[in-house]
């Protein structure tokens, strides 16, 4: 879960590998066979990422101790291409999981979200 507020929730499936790697979906990453994970069924054309580089990637949002969501994707691209970051401290997702206001709470009560 990355965000939970009065309007709803946003999060990512963490353990479901997507069928393509980043270099197969984006020509800018040729030679970088970085795995992509299925973040969820919402906006399957969007790319999201979590990482441990708040000092290097501007505009990242802190999720918890040492885990950050998003930030400047151009900066991330440069860091990857320059091999300036440990890719084990980065996870990239296609799509996300999202719930409208009170939807997640209702699914938990009904035991239908798992």
**Residue 113 pLDDT grade (very low, low, confident, very high; cuts 50, 70, 90):** low
3-state secondary structure of 103: helix
Q: 102 or 19: which carries more pLDDT confidence?
A: 19
Of 105, 7, 5, 94, nearest in space to 42 by CA: 94
Domain limits for position 64: 3-79
Would you say residue 87 lies in a domain?
no
Alpha helices in 1-114 (DSSP H): 22-25, 73-81, 103-110
Would you say residue 88 lies in a domain?
no
Would you say residue 61 lies in a domain?
yes
Token pair listed for 91: 């996870």
Provide the number of structural domains found in the chain. Answer: 1
**Residue 5 pLDDT grade (very low, low, confident, very high; cuts 50, 70, 90):** low
**Residue 105 pLDDT grade (very low, low, confident, very high; cuts 50, 70, 90):** low
Residue 78 has, within 13 A of its CA and on its CB side, a CA count of 8
Question: Could you tell me if 63 and 5 are in contact, meaning their C-beta atoms sit under 8 angstroms apart?
Answer: no
Would you say residue 103 lies in a domain?
no
Q: 62 or 8: which carries more pLDDT confidence?
A: 62
Q: 83 or 41: which carries more pLDDT confidence?
A: 83
Would you say residue 8 lies in a domain?
yes
Q: 103 or 109: which carries more pLDDT confidence?
A: 109
Would you say residue 86 lies in a domain?
no
pLDDT per residue over 10-69, tens digit each? 667 788 999 999 999 999 899 999 999 998 887 788 899 999 999 999 999 998 899 999
Sign of CA dihedral 30, 10, 114, 88: positive
Would you say residue 24 lies in a domain?
yes
Whole-number pLDDT of residue 97: 74
Would you say residue 20 lies in a domain?
yes
């Amino acid at each position: 879960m990355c965000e939970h507020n009065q309007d709803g929730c946003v999060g990512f499936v963490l353990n479901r590998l997507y069928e393509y790697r980043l270099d197969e979906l984006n020509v800018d990453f040729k030679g970088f066979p970085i795995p992509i994970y299925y973040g969820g069924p919402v906006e399957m054309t969007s790319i999201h990422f979590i990482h441990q580089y708040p000092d290097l990637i501007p505009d990242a949002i802190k999720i918890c101790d040492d885990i950050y969501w998003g930030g400047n994707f151009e900066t991330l691209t440069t860091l990857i291409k320059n091999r300036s970051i440990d890719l084990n401290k980065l996870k990239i997702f296609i799509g996300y999981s999202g719930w409208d206001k009170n939807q997640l709470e209702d699914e938990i009560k009904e035991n239908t979200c798992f």
